[in-house]
Structure 1
Amino acid sequence: MSNSLRFFEFQKIAYKGKWQNTLFTEDLHKAFEAYYTKNPDTPFFELIPYGVRFKQYVGAIQIGKTTIEVLPKIGKEGNEETWQKVLIDMLKTCHLLTAKQTGDAHLKLKSNSILDLYFEMYILELENLLHKGLIKKYKPNSGQQKALKGALKFSKHLSKNIVHKERFYLNYTEYTKNHLLHQILFVALKVVNHISSSPLLKDRIGRIQLLFPEVNSLKTNKNHFTKIANSRKHKPYEKAISIAELILLNYRPDIKSGNRDLLALMFDMNMLWEEYVFRLLKKIHSKEYRILSQQKKLFWHKNQKIKPDIVMVEKSSNKTFVIDTKWKVLQKNRPSDDDLKQMYVYNHHWSAYKSILLYPKSKLQQSVEGNFALPMQNQTHTCQLLFVDVLENNQLNKNITNQVIEALEIEDKSQTKLPKKNYNERI
């Protein structure tokens, strides 16, 4: 029988004491302790007395048959279902959850976790690959053959075939479906089958296993995924391999008993928020602005570089703006000195008219704009704190970038136009 629990980022939970939660058991705590012992640098959580404190990572952790969803949340608005939907919509917008659901086979969101959605997405990708036909590849091999097709290994041939004159020990190539791609996919399928408790998914996995070719067993690691070349032949496999990598590199089997196998599919909420804002800006406002992400410039010496989250260049005026996203609640509308110093440097290095520190709104916060004391020549030099509503009508707000554009388009008559740049230049 599976069990599903939901908590929020930075929440503390324990099976007894100050942070006691009746849903969190001592057995779960022991499983987290075991994981932490093997992975003391884990960014997902930290241990507290009798429990854990989640960090800025969101997603799903499965321990044995218990699934724990860690959800984002800003402020007091919205419940668990609302913020689960927010997380899923963000993952979809950032192309981290993109599989199409078909017919009656798709899972019902209300009764299943984000982990189930990833499992279903993986199974759907495998079903599509099987439907289209799995590719074969040439694979080097050696062994006994009855026909002389390949390079004869003379010493091996003499030692093994003194009696059997009809055989040849050869080096040869085999055109087969038993290659690295299929070995990785099948290992990940076995993990999903072991972890999942959905009868519907189990049934679909069983059918895939019957149709899947026989392949060698594989103990996967990072190196196996780096060996996969980018090629036209591999293109249909990209999505399935990326999900398999996510599953296999985050799976920690409990060798002793199997009761506490752990799989963590977690995402840094700071990076997810940045990527979500960037994707929306790119999708909605790319006609008016050239929008760039993580652009680097040399800051000091030979390799010390700086990179703002988002750089925007207005195509009509050639004005540059810098945006840094911050997924945190800002107290009393006062950014840290480090954040302001960072924006000051960005403005100078990108000759930006304005920089924006973009926060999710958690209460009745008002945007604040201020000039830096040391201006740049011939133009203003400002930084604005901008707070945007993550939720709109209890759903993820898809219009937050309108607030960003409005902040950029406020007329400032003191600004002067710069000479036109070549847009093909790298910023």
Structure 2
Amino acid sequence: MSIKVIEHEFIKISKFTDIKKKVISREDAEILHNLEIEKNLSMFKWGKNKVSPQQWIGVISLKNTSLEILPKIADSCNEQELMTSLIFMINTVYGLNIKHSIKSKSSLLQNGFFELLINIFLDELNLQLNQGLHKEYKKNTSNLNCIKGFIVFNKHLHKNLFNKNKFYCKYSTLTDDYLLNQIIKTTLVHISRFNISNKTKSKVKVQLDRLENISVINDAASFIDKLSFNRNNDRFKNSIHYCELFLNNIGSSLNSGSCKINSFLIDMNKLFEQFIYKSYKKIYKHNVIYQNQNNYLLTNCSKPQIHKINLKPDIMIKKASSQVIIIDTKWKVLNKFVNSSDIYQMNGYITGISNVEDIILLFPKNVNNDKIIDDFFVKNNSSNKIKIRTINLLEVGTYKFYSDLQDIIK
């Protein structure tokens, strides 16, 4: 059993954990505090005997329970709607080809979206491993009793000048203990450390047994870009995308006394930003640029080749007129108006980037955010508008969603 909360929802802190009342122990609260220190991030809002998660969603295995944090996608929606929208966003950002219906896995909803993702991954992996482990040729060099492959003569003469019974050879062997399988096994090992249901643990173990002879590697996420796919191993591409999702967001184990604490956390700021970018990319193709870094706010007066303060807008959309629309995504629930720092940032884009037509601050749709939808211009500059807009994330993947994205930049 785990405690499920929505972003910004307060969790009470008391002497003992009470799952039904959403209360965590002081010992578990200390774990959350240590997690913030480890990641050097402000992940929670702390109050007197209460704590509230901010922008980070996922699961944290505490000492006495697990804490599952879900995103505040809308003011009100059922868990299935929330899961469907969230997984569609993750699917889009990580390039996951999730064909499984959430309805078909509704029995897993009570265990949370992390376990739902794990089961989708396991089903996909099982499908591929049923066809057999993929093997690759591995290059080897060794001093052998017989010739295998071909002799490396400079090494052979150096090592075997007085030993006629040895041959220093370079040869290839077919092996399943290579990078692709190592990344998959490492991912499964990380997942197995979480507090997941016995049924899911059994499914993980089945796949680990299949990979019994495969090595586990350190920092597996950094090796994913080194993989190359061809017609022989392309069927594992989807499984590797899942591995990337898990490896990028599973934190290193945190020691709390004698207990190992694991976490799988996604920054909703980044997920929302990348999801909106990839959604616009689907509509406008090559006219969409992500985090362009070629613009600066300041230029040195005597040395114009020197620039300072790099401007990096989230999304730039080029129009046929050569003007650009800038979209800056904000994963925030507003109580009043947008933060003044956000407006200063937008004004910097107007000043430092050429041919800007409009700038759009884009928020997820909810009652509070909808109240501030409007158009503004900066004093003494009415040619560029700063527009505040929202988008309904419960409609992701629908025709209306993509239609609304296009309306936003009109």
Give TM-score scaled by structure 2 length. Answer: 0.75
> Which structure's residues are more often helix, by fraction?
2
Tell me how far 1:145 sits from its aligned partner: 5.0
1:212-251 Cα distance to aligned partner (Å, 9 max, x none): 362234344555445x243436544443334334434624
Cα gap change, 1:318 to 1:80, in 2 (>3 Å) = same
> 3-state SS of the aligned residue for 1:116?
helix
Q: Give 5+ residue unaligned stretches, structure 2.
A: 299-305
Q: Give 5+ residue unaligned stretches, structure 1.
A: 410-427
Cα gap change, 1:59 to 1:130, in 2 (>3 Å) = same
Tell me how far 1:365 sits from its aligned partner: 0.8
Give TM-score scaled by structure 1 length. Answer: 0.73
Tell me the amino acid that sits aligned with residue 291 of structure 1: V
Superposed, which structure 2 residues align to 1:325-340 within 5 Å? Answer: 325-332=329-336, 334-340=337-343
> 3-state SS of the aligned residue for 2:99?
coil
Distance 1:243 1:313 in 2: 32
Cα gap change, 1:267 to 1:399, in 2 (>3 Å) = farther
Note if contact 2:94-2:241 (Cα within 8 Å) is conserved in structure 1: no
1:371 paired to 2:377: yes
- Residue aligning to 2:55: 56
> 3-state SS of the aligned residue for 1:195?
coil
Superposed, which structure 2 residues align to 1:59-78 within 5 Å? Answer: 59-63=58-62, 66-73=65-72, 76-78=75-77
Superposed, which structure 2 residues align to 1:67-106 within 5 Å? Answer: 67-73=66-72, 76-78=75-77, 83-95=82-94, 98-101=97-100, 106=105
Match of 2:357 among 350, 353, 372: 353
Note if contact 2:180-2:227 (Cα within 8 Å) is conserved in structure 1: no
Superposed, which structure 2 residues align to 1:281-320 within 5 Å? Answer: 281-283=280-282, 285-286=283-284, 290-299=287-296, 300=298, 301-302=306-307, 304-315=309-320, 319-320=323-324
Percent identity among equivalent residues? 22
Superposed, which structure 2 residues align to 1:13-412 within 5 Å? Answer: 13-16=11-14, 22-33=22-33, 35-36=35-36, 39=38, 41-45=40-44, 52-63=51-62, 66-73=65-72, 76-78=75-77, 83-95=82-94, 98-101=97-100, 106=105, 108-141=107-140, 145=144, 147-149=146-148, 151=151, 172-195=171-194, 197-212=196-211, 214-220=213-219, 223-225=222-224, 228-232=226-230, 235-248=234-247, 250-253=250-253, 259-264=259-264, 266-283=265-282, 285-286=283-284, 290-299=287-296, 300=298, 301-302=306-307, 304-315=309-320, 319-332=323-336, 334-348=337-351, 349-359=353-363, 360-363=365-368, 365-375=371-381, 380-390=383-393, 399=400, 402-403=403-404, 405-406=406-407, 408-409=409-410
Tell me how far 1:138 sits from its aligned partner: 3.0
State how many pairs are aligned. Answer: 390
1:36-93 Cα distance to aligned partner (Å, 9 max, x none): 56x1514544776666442221223334684322122267544666544443343234
Query: What RMSD over aligned residues (CA atoms) do the two structures have, in Å?
Result: 4.2
Distance 1:188 1:400 in 2: 33
Note if contact 1:64-1:258 (Cα within 8 Å) is conserved in structure 2: no
Tell me how far 1:262 sits from its aligned partner: 0.8
Moved more, 112-121 or 22-31: 22-31
Tell me the amino acid that sits aligned with residue 184 of structure 1: I
Tell me how far 1:357 sits from its aligned partner: 1.7
Distance 1:82 1:307 in 2: 33
Moved more, 215-224 or 360-369: 215-224
Note if contact 1:390-1:397 (Cα within 8 Å) is conserved in structure 2: no
